[in-house]
Structure 1
Amino acid sequence: MSFYTSLSGLKGAQTDMSVISNNIANAGSIGFKRSKAQFGDIFASSPTQSTKMIAGQGQRLNGISQQFTQGSYESSEKTLDMAIVGEGMFVVKGDPPREQVTYTRNGAFTATPDRNVIDSTGQKLQLLPVDASGNVTNNTLAGAFDFVLPAGAPSDPTAQLVNVSIGLDGLVSATFANGEAQVLGKVAMATFPAMEGLRPVGDAHWQSSGESGPPTIDAATNGPMGALRSGALERSNVDITEELVMLIGAQRNFQANAKAIEGASQLSQTIINMR
């Protein structure tokens, strides 16, 4: 039994090292959120047995939880680069026919030749409609629409776009060569009842799941959404020093369990060789 007990410890330490290694590998990834492996002990006995005479049977992986803490920020010279100060996430949508909706903290957005604003995976950033006062008129996924930069002013299509500004509340305004200004909408953001339940799909993108609960869609500065900072990017929340210390601990746990297996093997060999 001691073989299997130590084997469970080996597997746990190996999983822990894999999670920590993934955190370290993504220390430079924009919007990445570190993960942490959580373990529990295994104990089994019959109802009539005294637990005072029974040892535990090892450990098991309870789950790998994501840590949605705030990452540090770096300045950028691009208006379409955005960082979130709060718990919100950007809402992006894929191409037809699926038009899959995902959520991200990676605010490195760029404009395509057809003037769509997309993220690093090619998905389109979503905006919420607003009225003349800048108030959101529809805060649902169905009411959101693609962020498309206008080619010309509403009253004069020949007047080219010269500037786009994004406020702390996510209000997107466009200015044209003839001095005319146009409000395009507010950047759509989402929060969830249980952020740790989001399903990661890579590239700092997540999907909603039954464990995360349904998204709450709104603009920045509303509730826990946080504020938007144009011209900045959020780096990963990985602390290299902390991860390296945890990696050393996981390595020592692996070595200790391997030593326990070696001791059990020597004991078994001694008993088998007895005459």
Structure 2
Amino acid sequence: MSFRIALSGLNAASSRLDITAQNIANVNTTGFKSSRASFADVYASSNNDIAATTPGTGVRLDAINQTFSQGGVNFTGNNLDLAISGEGFFTMEGPKGTTYTRAGSFSVDREGYVVNNNLEKLQVFPASADGTFAAGSLADLKLQITENPPQQTSSTEIGLNLPANAPVPSTADFDPSLSSSYNHATSMTIYDSLGTSHTATMYFVKDASANNWNQYLYVNDNPVGEANSLSFNSAGELMSPELGLVTYPAYDPGTGAADLNLSFDYSKTTQYGQEFGINSLQQDGYTTGRMTGVAVSDNGVVSARFSNGQSSQLGKVAMAIFANPNGLQQKGDTSWAETTASGGPRLGEAGSSNFGLLQAGALEGSNVDLTAQLVEMITAQRNFQANTQMISTSDQLTQAIINIR
């Protein structure tokens, strides 16, 4: 009996060494979670009367439990590398079905999908047209590899200060080619529906009547409508047009694009002091843009950045947590699959409920404590040696009995 008991001890010690070796081997594996062995004693019968007079029959490996504690976060500088700080798994979809991982090393395949090293696709809650996310469905995260479409300029915001003591120009009839026919001018870039840029120039002419100015708009040196009157009160505040809004007639940019229907907001224009000043020139149009980068917020919103200064939300990273993560089936490549023991996944957004936050440009390292594993290795080695000594002692006793005359 002692041979069998010691043999079970050897097997247990060997299993413990195997698990320790696995932990040590993966000390630098991204997203790896260390394991520990749980052992149980073995008896021939569970009957209390017999158990009281019968020695045990050894030990067995009861379970291999994983420790889902936080690993260290290492910064990489790659925006598609994602680390989870807290609970949760990334949700992946691939040929083997749905898997879950803590390894956030992602890249882009030739079709623009964000994938891991096994070509499994990262799952997100897709973006809706109203800026929200469809949390009830999952979609593959795909980067927008086409150009961002242009937007035609329709409105602008002009913030100027026109000098209160400006003289009436010496040339009576306005002519943009004669600086003596106007007091001040400023320009800004606007865009048509095809994304072609045009130069819009605003000329300001002091009227003979007090606190009144005439404003002219030229696009690419072509006039747009007639003069528009800007009137101020004695405190220098704009009184007309109403709400400071000037609407111009349609202008054909001559590029095959739709007519420009411009509306300029002069509500922030004033008539103070002695100097002409430009405080703000803003317009709502932009040209086409190429994708220049990807940003991921700490709550998982993935946005594409474009060369025209625009950004587009592509989705929100779908996180999963389980009631019993130790029940997950290990699939290799630091990924897990759902089982009956783990329960179904609860999907959610990073930073909400029990879900951890995301760190872009970083990876979660292994949670293996190398010092603790070396101590575990020494302990398992001692256990193995003790069981081999038990077998040796049992062998000597058996030999002594056989040699009895």
Say yes or no: TM over 0.5: yes
Per the alignment, residue 74 of structure 2 pairs with 74
CA distance in 2, matches of 1:36, 1:46: 27
- Give 1:6's aligned residue: 6
1:197 and 2:311 correspond? no
Matches for 1:26-41 after TM superposition, within 5 Å: 26-41=26-41
Larger Rg: 2
Calculate the aligned-residue CA RMSD, in Å: 1.7
Match of 1:226 in 2: 356
- Answer yes or no: is the 8 Å Cα contact 2:44–2:56 preserved in 1: yes
1:158/1:112 CA distance change after superposition, 3 Å? farther
Q: Corresponding residue for 1:93?
A: 93
For the 8 Å contact 2:43–2:51, the answer to whether it is kept is no
Match of 2:124 in 1: 127
SS of alignment partner, residue 18 of structure 1: helix
Cα distance change on mapping 1:86 and 1:48 into 2, 3 Å = closer
CA distance in 2, matches of 1:171, 1:225: 14
Tell me the equivalent position of 1:117. Answer: 114
Relative to structure 1, the CA distance from residue 233 to residue 134 in structure 2 (aligned partners, 3 Å threshold; closer, same or farther) is farther
Indicate the SS of the match to 1:222.
Answer: coil
**Richer in strand (by share):** 2
Which runs of structure 2 are paired with 1:153-168 in the superposition (5 Å)? 153-156=147-150, 159-168=289-298
**Is residue 134 of structure 2 the alignment partner of residue 146 of structure 1?**
no
Structure 2: give runs of 5+ residues left out of the alignment: 151-286
Q: TM-score, normalised by structure 1?
A: 0.93
Residue type matched to 1:150 in 2? Q
Q: How many residues align?
A: 269
Letter in 2 for 1:151: I
Q: How much does 1:54 deviate?
A: 2.4
Cα deviation, residue 129, structure 1: 2.0
Give structure 1 regions of 4+ aligned residues with deviation exceeding 6 angstroms: none
Contact (CA 8 Å) 1:127, 1:145: kept in 2 or not?
Answer: yes
1:104 and 2:104 correspond: no
| Identity percentage of aligned residues | 41
1:179 to 309, 314, 324: 309
Q: Which runs of 5+ in 1 are unaligned?
A: none
Q: Per the alignment, do residues 134 and 245 of structure 1 end up closer, same or farther by CA in structure 2, a change over 3 Å counting?
A: farther
- Do the aligned partners of residues 134 and 212 (structure 1) sit closer, same or farther apart at CA in structure 2, a change above 3 Å counting? farther
Secondary structure, aligned partner of 2:397: helix
Secondary structure in 1 aligned to 2:49?
coil
Partner in structure 1 of residue 133 of structure 2: 136
Higher helix share: 1
Q: CA deviation at 1:115?
A: 1.4
Q: Which shows bigger deviation, 155-164 or 240-249?
A: 155-164
| Structure-2 separation of matches of 1:189 and 1:48 | 49
The normalised TM-score by structure 2 is 0.64
Distance 2:322 2:130 in 1: 28
Structure 1 pair 7/115, CA: closer, same or farther in 2 (3 Å)?
Answer: same
Tell me if the contact between 1:153 and 1:180 (Cα under 8 Å) persists in the aligned partners: no
Q: 1:17 to 1:48 in 2, by over 3 A?
A: closer
2:354 aligned counterpart, secondary structure:
helix
Mapped partners of 1:9, 1:71: distance in 2:
32
Quote the residue 2:388 is aligned against.
258
